[in-house]
Structure formats: structure tokens, C-alpha cells
Chain A
Amino acid sequence: QVQLHQSGPGLVKPSQTLSVTCAISGDSVTSNSAAWNWIRQSPSRGLEWLGRAYYRSKWYTEFAPSVKSRIIINADTSENQLSLRLNSVTPEDTAVYYCAKQNDEIDVWGQGTMVIVSS
């Protein structure tokens, strides 16, 4: 079955860049039917979709307006993994970050990565 394993630092300083990686097993990041999402969760904001990438003969990305100017989602086909970079972070970006596979529904979630933004 599909599994998503996340990794990344748990502490980031304000104004720096948050990075999380999602290793995919049991499926391909270039799947023609899946989209690969980044979603975060915090007590103040609940579940918040950040963006996604998907491959349909070429790569497409879509981002939430709230982070569109700061977010980069990359797919590494050689490593079969997805990465999230969020620039210029503030304490408001403190959250658990999830990668997640979506067809129509989101049917597979990573284990989550707690990221704290603090000096």
C-alpha cells in the first residue's frame, strides 16, 4: 500500500525557510491519477491546505492564496519524493505539516512533522 514518510527539522528561526520532505513508497510521484498535497494543522487555524503538485504529462502546482508568495513544492522523480519549502516564516507558521496523496479524496497521509518557528 502507499506510504508517505516525512522528514525535516522541527525548529526553524523566524524569517528563515521551513523545509519538509515526503518520501513516497507504493506509488509514483509521477502518477497520472494522484495529486500530492501539503497540509498543515495548528490549534488556531485547524487543517489548512497549503498546496499540491501533480503530473499529467507535465507538472502542475496549485497553492493556497494565503501562502502563494512564500511556498515552493518540488517533486524529485529520481528519489520519488515531494518537498515543501516555505519562506520567510513567522511564529504563525508553527504547525504540524502533513504530506498527503489525493485522488478525489485524500486517502493517504504522512505521519506529520511538527515544526516550531522560534528564535
Chain B
Amino acid sequence: SYELTQPRSVSVALGQTATITCGGNNIETKNVHWYQQKPGQAPALVLYRDSNRPSGIPERFSGSNSGSTATLTISRAQAGDEADYYCQVWHSGNVFGGGTQLTVL
């Protein structure tokens, strides 16, 4: 089976840049999607196919995917960005990372 590894938590100062990683074997060969989940809500797509933003997602959200690590970067972090973030790929089924809790200090 395929596994995605994320840090359990990341902290960022207000207005600074947060980086959330997603590790997987040769992940660069896969399309990586990122979801944001706030308490009591369903996950919501924030990036698709590594670095594409759905309509309504600010340019502060960007992504990359190289080697064995995909990265979600949130620039100029805001209090409203506090959430859990999950990466996801398709590998004989949908595979999700364990999630990263982002705290904005």
C-alpha cells in the first residue's frame, strides 16, 4: 500500500510563511491534492494537481511536488488559515496523509 507522511503540526507567526510537507515514495509522479478542514466542517479543496488553485482560493496558497515530497505553502498566514491540512493522491484508491494541524501564532 502507498503511504503519505505529514507532520502532525506546524506553527507559523501571523503574516509569515507556513510550509506543510507531504512525503511519499516517488510522489512527484503523482497528482497531489490538498484539502483544508476546519472544526466541524468537511474538508475543502485548496490545491489540485500539485499547484493549481480552485476558484476562490487566494494566491497566498501555492504548492510544489518534487522527488519524494509535495509541499503546500501558505504565504502571509492569517488567523483564518488555522485548520487541518491533508494531502491526497490516487494509488489504487484514494490515499490521504495523516493531516497537519496549522496553528497561526
Contacts and interface: CB of A to CB of B under 8 A. Distances in A.
B42 A104 contact: no
In terms of DSSP, what is the predominant structure of the interface of chain B?
Answer: strand
Please tell me the size bucket of the interface on A: 10 to 19
Contacts, number: 48
B88 interface: yes
Interface stretch (A23-31, A75-83, A86-94, A106-114): A106-114
Interface of A: 37, 39, 46-49, 52, 62, 64, 98, 102, 104-107, 109-112
Contacts of A106: 33, 35, 43, 45, 88, 94
B98 A46 contact: yes
B99 interface: yes
Please tell me the size bucket of the interface on B: 10 to 19
B80 interface: no
A75 B38 CA distance: 30
Contacts of B49: 104-105
B94 A37 contact: yes
Most buried by A among B33, B94, B95: B94
Most buried by B among A64, A106, A112: A106
A60 B96 CA distance: 22
Contacts of B86: 46-47
